[in-house]
Homo-oligomer: A and B are copies of this chain.
């Protein structure tokens, strides 16, 4: 957030000074071609076969930079939790930061800043113009995956085959425009499986049948920025109950969207959706939305019952009411990514909306 840098290995460290240029420490193994300008970049020997303790070297280097900037005695804060929740681009695992790292780093810092955690968390909430642009791109790429979803919907295709087609369409965007990284996580649930999607999302080997509702939960990461969308589409003729379920959720989403503008309490947006689904309230098991963009789910207040925190211009939220009714044999969720503007809202994922999703 402070640098616009998406870490490849997940083992980079940013020193951000109030009055000096920011310093980024990257592993010797880090690719250099997508590091933003305006950063002083140092490497440290993570991945160097000859170095037995790269993190000790890193801490020493941090100490040197703190001294150089004359802030070794100034208040300094750390965001420990980021290392646990931000997925590196090399996404098959997270780099395990040693348990002692934070203690050792604390010893380098004279005056911990008690406000740092809050300040960092605030950065998640309002997106800058550049960040909005990057999240808009993530939504555009997600839309390419959603197109593949709609084109895949045929009887006898399996959920995992659809998921693979969507993820393929997204990954192939690498190299187009300025996209150096694109990955989708497509979770497709069809027919009765869609009734589980208020609890979890996963694709199985089930083959689609005419009359199914098919729900797609889609996480998309492009250049380190995230989109989080859900589409629900019918295959063939739906039972009237399922058509009705779809209409109710669609109407609930419209009602929630209509509330979105600066100054409105998040709980009020949730209530607008929840009122429409009132007759099926027990099947609307989650909140109406959350912040999104730096992660699949950004930290910060949710759009949940009773939440008094207010929306503000620059926030990007999901609006995603749903209802999952096992006895109907299906579930519906419709989820878009929405920028709060000065006067209301803009749906960043509007290009992938269809009359039926």
- Write the residues of chain A forming the contact surface with B, with a CB cutoff of 8 angstroms: 8-9, 28-31, 47, 49, 80-81, 83-85, 87, 89-94, 96-97, 99, 158, 160-161, 163-165, 167-168, 171-172, 174-176, 180-181, 185, 187, 196, 199-206, 219, 221, 285-287, 295-297, 299, 304-305
Check A168–B172 contact: CB distance below 8 A: no
Check A80–B94 contact: CB distance below 8 A: no
Check B93–A87 contact: CB distance below 8 A: yes
Chain B residues, CB < 8 A from A31: 196, 199-200, 202
Chain B residues, CB < 8 A from A165: 168
A151 to B160: give the CA distance in the assembly, Å.
21
Check A205–B175 contact: CB distance below 8 A: yes
A286 to B49: give the CA distance in the assembly, Å.
6
6 pairs, CB–CB < 8 Å, chain A vs chain B: A49-B305, A80-B99, A90-B202, A92-B221, A93-B295, A174-B205
Main secondary structure of the interface of A (DSSP, over half): loop
A158 to B180: give the CA distance in the assembly, Å.
14
Check B164–A199 contact: CB distance below 8 A: no
Chain B residues, CB < 8 A from A80: 99
A92 to B179: give the CA distance in the assembly, Å.
19
Check B99–A94 contact: CB distance below 8 A: no
Pick the contact of A174 from B93, B160, B219, B285 — CB < 8 Å?
A: B160
Chain B residues, CB < 8 A from A202: 8, 31, 89-90, 181
Closest to A168 in B: B164
Closest to A98 in B: B81
Closest to A204 in B: B175
- Top 7 A-B residue pairs of the complex, sorted by shortest distance between their CB atoms: A175-B205, A92-B219, A164-B168, A85-B96, A92-B185, A29-B199, A160-B174
A85 to chain B, nearest CB (A): 4
Check A200–B164 contact: CB distance below 8 A: no
Check A200–B29 contact: CB distance below 8 A: yes
Check A85–B90 contact: CB distance below 8 A: no
Chain B residues, CB < 8 A from A161: 172
A80 to B80: give the CA distance in the assembly, Å.
14
Closest to A286 in B: B49
Chain B residues, CB < 8 A from A97: 84
Chain B residues, CB < 8 A from A9: 200
Chain B residues, CB < 8 A from A92: 87, 185, 219, 221, 296
A149 to chain B, nearest CB (A): 15
A96 to B30: give the CA distance in the assembly, Å.
25
